Structure 1
């Protein structure tokens, strides 16, 4: 078939007037084109592209036509469309029919962080920095900061250093940008997993009778046991005291509620003049809007799913879910309509492109429109 014949068939498709014979012809033409294309698409790309193609070549609404081609033919057609970037037909002395290229995918975040030393120097971190010793701290350089093969930062105290001196602690800060996460092992052996758009300030070695760190954002702690030196996490007006345990703290400054979720051991949560002890499987919530510390049983896997590379939602409201996506994908979300009653259960992996995650959310009858880095949400 020549371009004029193909153009005519496409116009009939848009009007929903294709005969079975014409549909077979167009089907065969697309399959032939695809057989000469080297482009391979994943299942998610096919589904995304199928919806995109439908929106750009709409059927007449009053026609009872569900689809033009079988799924395999649609996949083949999309491969051709995306392989060329822009797909169009030209008919002499008529306006071109043009389908724009598929919008750029929004990629997920990754392992990225910034380490600020006590002298103010900043070191940009990534999982592939490939360094061993990256800095030394202390008057006598008694603390060595190392980076492992997987990018994890560790603090190693020189065993020959004079620790009898009552020198004041020097502090470092590890922070993550939008779309970044980073892991660190503090000088006492405590492991900290820092979520995106977060920061933790900590001493390079714990010289006093307490191990105090300050957190903004979200982090998961595996605290090294030391019954003689309690570990304390401060975040805003909240203070958490432990001797050795595993817990998650969600304390973003742009969210009104601070949540602490306990997985193992016990923690004491203090807020203003109140104090509560958590048991494994419990989550505390504090807020200026609450009269007291709230405690409830939760799905701990959902609270720490981010540490394991997953989005997992346990009856989460839409705006809470979208805040996670804003931080991980660096997007802005706008709402067109009331979505307050929308709840999500389930989840997906964080290493997927944004379009694939939105498909999962659309199963709850929510619609999304992507305009650059802005996501518009419709109920």
Structure 2
């Protein structure tokens, strides 16, 4: 099964269950279900009790082993006419569908007041630290609702109406704009900026980017701490560089994601389109679309073929976990909800999760979902959350 079909099926099933699918989308979903002989699996996943019963069993295992256990438990076998389909994709389909639909039942059945949950999330964000912009003369600007934009506009910097986007495409040659600016995005939100050359950058939570207010005509360079998605405006006369802590990414015009948080064991550069060169000490690696370069503790460990979509799911306000250790899951939650979450026991870290969770719901609901899908329990102590294993 093609990667894009996996995600299309997941999204369309979610819309179908929520009653928001269009006739055209339903037709596409029915066609994909028939094409990959998923009728029986999808029918079973539409049973709330079935999903919640087997979801707990599945999340104790890694993707391949977990899906085999899933098949053994429910007595399913792979359709004979589809034996040529790669096993890994069947694992991906079943595991992600199971998790996503399990979440759907939790969110829509167990928590019918979904709007209230989203409202709680919105209120919390409004009270969080604001996005800040530091100009070259060290003047600090707080970019929040109600901020007087006249000063920004006088410099040629504009904030778009609706989703907040910082636009530098009309900057003027004023003294305060000569040099580098720094955009600081706090935990719990995303922010977009259009650089002077038209390159679009989306910064993830707890990230900062230093960049020239007016990019050079022969070299364009920005400095990143955290995570960002880049859609680089092509200019063959001016290569674009993203500088991380231990690497540099060189591009002409392409789309890619850079993840380089200080508290993560790995740094990752994931290419969606075009071509990039990743330069490290004594090593230069060229990536093609669908490839990801990985560093551990500042050292290059290799490149691998990946499905890029999960690595940019944060752009669509989703957490995406693909056979991910609990400690990594908790780091992402901590970064978004701005709270310390720690494991009381080492064995907790050996639990793996796979699936999508929207990040616009309350932390309490997310943790409750994780408790429903594994033998773990969260509790609060001294302004932080702790997690431990529980045996049923």
TM-score, normalised relative to structure 2: 0.62
Task: Identify if the C-alpha distance between structure 1 residues 259 and 109 changes in structure 2 by more than 3 Å, giving closer, same or farther.
Answer: farther
Q: Which has the larger radius of gyration?
A: 1
Structure 1 alignment gaps of length 5 or more: 1-74, 80-104
Residue 232 (1) aligns with residue 241 (2): yes
Task: Identify if the C-alpha distance between structure 1 residues 246 and 369 changes in structure 2 by more than 3 Å, giving closer, same or farther.
Answer: same
Partner of 1:255: 264
Cα distance in structure 2, aligned partners of 1:294 and 1:169: 39
Partner of 1:311: 319
Shift of 1:232: 0.2
Partner of 1:153: 166
Greater helix proportion:
2
Residue 222 (1) aligns with residue 239 (2): no
Partner of 1:207: 216
Partner-residue secondary structure (3-state), 1:188: coil
CA contact (8 A) 1:108 1:328 kept: no
Residue of 283, 295, 299 corresponding to 2:303 = 295
Cα distance in structure 2, aligned partners of 1:318 and 1:182: 27
Residue of 318, 343, 361 corresponding to 1:352 = 361
Cα distance in structure 2, aligned partners of 1:108 and 1:297: 38
Cα distance in structure 1, aligned partners of 2:124 and 2:278: 33
Task: Identify if the C-alpha distance between structure 1 residues 130 and 124 changes in structure 2 by more than 3 Å, giving closer, same or farther.
Answer: closer
CA contact (8 A) 2:177 2:213 kept: no
CA contact (8 A) 2:169 2:194 kept: no
Partner of 1:99: none
Task: Identify if the C-alpha distance between structure 1 residues 121 and 188 changes in structure 2 by more than 3 Å, giving closer, same or farther.
Answer: same
Residue 342 (1) aligns with residue 354 (2): no
Partner-residue secondary structure (3-state), 1:339: helix
Residue of 367, 370, 377 corresponding to 2:377 = 367
CA contact (8 A) 1:276 1:293 kept: no
Structure 2 alignment gaps of length 5 or more: 1-109, 114-119
Task: Identify if the C-alpha distance between structure 1 residues 304 and 353 changes in structure 2 by more than 3 Å, giving closer, same or farther.
Answer: same
Using the TM superposition, name which of 176-185 and 304-313 deviates more. 176-185
Partner-residue secondary structure (3-state), 1:180: coil
Partner of 1:18: none
Partner of 2:289: 280
Residue 378 (1) aligns with residue 391 (2): no
Task: Identify if the C-alpha distance between structure 1 residues 134 and 310 changes in structure 2 by more than 3 Å, giving closer, same or farther.
Answer: farther
CA contact (8 A) 1:131 1:148 kept: no
Partner of 2:156: 144
CA contact (8 A) 2:169 2:198 kept: no
Using the TM superposition, name which of 107-116 and 195-204 deviates more. 107-116
Greater strand proportion:
1
Shift of 1:129: 3.7
CA contact (8 A) 2:267 2:296 kept: yes
Cα distance in structure 1, aligned partners of 2:353 and 2:289: 24
Shift of 1:256: 3.0
Cα distance in structure 2, aligned partners of 1:327 and 1:108: 14
Shift of 1:289: 6.6
Equivalenced residue count is 265
CA contact (8 A) 2:254 2:273 kept: yes
Partner-residue secondary structure (3-state), 1:315: strand
Cα distance in structure 2, aligned partners of 1:197 and 1:157: 27
TM-score, normalised relative to structure 1: 0.64
Residue 182 (1) aligns with residue 200 (2): no
Shift of 1:239: 0.2
Shift of 1:293: 3.8
Cα distance in structure 2, aligned partners of 1:117 and 1:212: 17
Residue 118 (1) aligns with residue 136 (2): yes
Partner-residue secondary structure (3-state), 1:144: coil
Could you list the per-position Cα deviations for residues 324-352 of structure 1 after superposition, in whole angstroms to 9, with x for gaps in the alignment? 11111111112111223211100211110
Task: Identify if the C-alpha distance between structure 1 residues 284 and 276 changes in structure 2 by more than 3 Å, giving closer, same or farther.
Answer: same
Shift of 1:171: 0.7
